[in-house]
Structure 1
Amino acid sequence: MSSICNNQMPYQKYFPVFPMSLDHRAAQFAPFAALNGFAETIAMKGKQYDLRPFLAEDQLFELNFKINLLSQLDDKNQAIKINYFEEEDGKDKGKINELCEKISKIDFKRKRILLANQTSIPFKNIIDIDFYK
């Protein structure tokens, strides 16, 4: 019995620890994105939007007159300057754009103006139309 007690296990004071590289050490304390896509959502909330403009009755009448006049023109290469509201995600928020382009087609069935650069603008988003050559 005394032989078992006297034969102690050798105690190793220092374990062989190799120094960690700076890259691995920095990775332990680096921040991580716990919520994926959260930064993009915050950026979208900080974006400045315009509210959809509401046109008065006489402005709607004038706009309707201009659209009908455009549909009856013989010159399909008529260039127009169009101010329109571009929606963001189908809401009443977005931005107001101005575009100078030639008309490709006026689609009364789908209530859209198609421009030569393949832009399709719904009638409800049009704010103003001006003619020029």
Structure 2
Amino acid sequence: MTESGGGSAKLQESFPYEDIVNLPHHRSETHPHMSMEERAAQFSSFAALTGHKEAVQEKARRTSRRMELDEDQKARLDEKLQELCREEEGRETEFTVFYPDDKKSGGSYEKVCGVLKRIDVYEKVIWLEDGKSLKISDIIDIQ
């Protein structure tokens, strides 16, 4: 066996499909060519876990723990609420409000700006002119 013969056999072992690699792609003469979207649609019905993606996204969504105000913070917040009660309606005010999450424990903190319409002391709700209502128990800070 010559050196060139041995090299050819070695090449054949390392690349066994050399004879078909450069052939043109087969296209059926009886069936029409299918687009990538049509091919993907064939397998979409096999999505075994319907709603799995949404469940993973919901699990990954972060919530914050509700802050517990200490006595000093509660006293300062109460003073600000009393000040709002004494002032006339129509004042632009910024509130930091905790919104409990409907689906998991915790919630989120949001800054809410609005023009004060009225404070319902009996229902413990602050009404803003844009129609928003804020539970006084969910308010963390008032600016």
| TM-score, normalisation: structure 2 | 0.65
CA separation of 1:92 and 1:70: change in aligned 2, threshold 3 A: farther
Residue equivalent to 1:65: 79
How many positions carry a matched residue from both structures?
Answer: 113
Q: 2:120 aligns with which of 72, 92, 107?
A: 107
Larger proportion of helix: 2
* Kept after mapping to 2: 8 A contact 1:111/1:123: yes
Residue equivalent to 1:39: 53
Give the AA of the match of 1:126. I
Question: In 2, distance between residues paired with 1:26 and 1:91?
Answer: 35
Q: 2:67 aligns with which of 40, 53, 71?
A: 53
User: What are structure 1's unaligned runs of at least 5 residues?
Assistant: 1-17
Larger proportion of strand: 1
Q: 2:110 aligns with which of 97, 102, 109?
A: 97
Q: Which has the higher contact order (CA 8 A, sep 6+)?
A: 1
User: What are structure 2's unaligned runs of at least 5 residues?
Assistant: 1-29
Secondary structure of the residue aligned to 2:102 is coil
Question: In 2, distance between residues paired with 1:56 and 1:115?
Answer: 27
Give the AA of the match of 1:46. A
Q: 2:90 aligns with which of 77, 97, 105?
A: 77
CA separation of 1:72 and 1:90: change in aligned 2, threshold 3 A: farther
Question: In 1, distance between residues paired with 2:115 and 2:40?
Answer: 58
Question: In 2, distance between residues paired with 1:67 and 1:96?
Answer: 19
- Give, in angstroms, the shift of residue 91 of structure 1: 5.5
Question: In 2, distance between residues paired with 1:72 and 1:35?
Answer: 57
Residue equivalent to 2:34: 22
| TM-score, normalisation: structure 1 | 0.69
- Give, in angstroms, the shift of residue 127 of structure 1: 0.7
